[in-house]
Amino acid sequence: QVKPQFESRENRKCPMFTAVVYRTQVVAGINYFIKVEVSKTDYVHLKVFKSLPHENQDPSLVSFQTGKTKDDPLTYF
């Protein structure tokens, strides 16, 4: 659901967009930290916020880090 948000903010198309690992942080909703494979050698880390169910909001891309590799640890940011 956040692929179009990422592509728009990064101004590029990603033919591959596969989540490989994620972590969560409970706040007034949930922050998801997701490592996404965008090519055979390129990864991005996404921070996605999902609000509480009663708020009826779609997940939103809060921030991201580019230039990551398969071996970069997924940390809170």
Mean pLDDT by 10 residues, the chain (77 residues): 93 93 94 95 96 90 95 92
pTM (global) more than 0.85: yes
Please count the other Cβ atoms lying within 10 Å of the Cβ belonging to residue 43.
21
Please count the other Cβ atoms lying within 10 Å of the Cβ belonging to residue 72.
12
**pLDDT at residue number 13:** 92
The torsion defined by the Cα of 4, 28, 66 and 41, in degrees rounded to 10, comes to -80
Work out whether the CA dihedral 50, 54, 56, 57 comes out positive or negative.
Answer: negative
Please report the domains of the chain, with CATH numbers, ordered by start residue. 1-68 (3.10.450)
**pLDDT at residue number 53:** 86
Please count the other Cβ atoms lying within 10 Å of the Cβ belonging to residue 3.
14
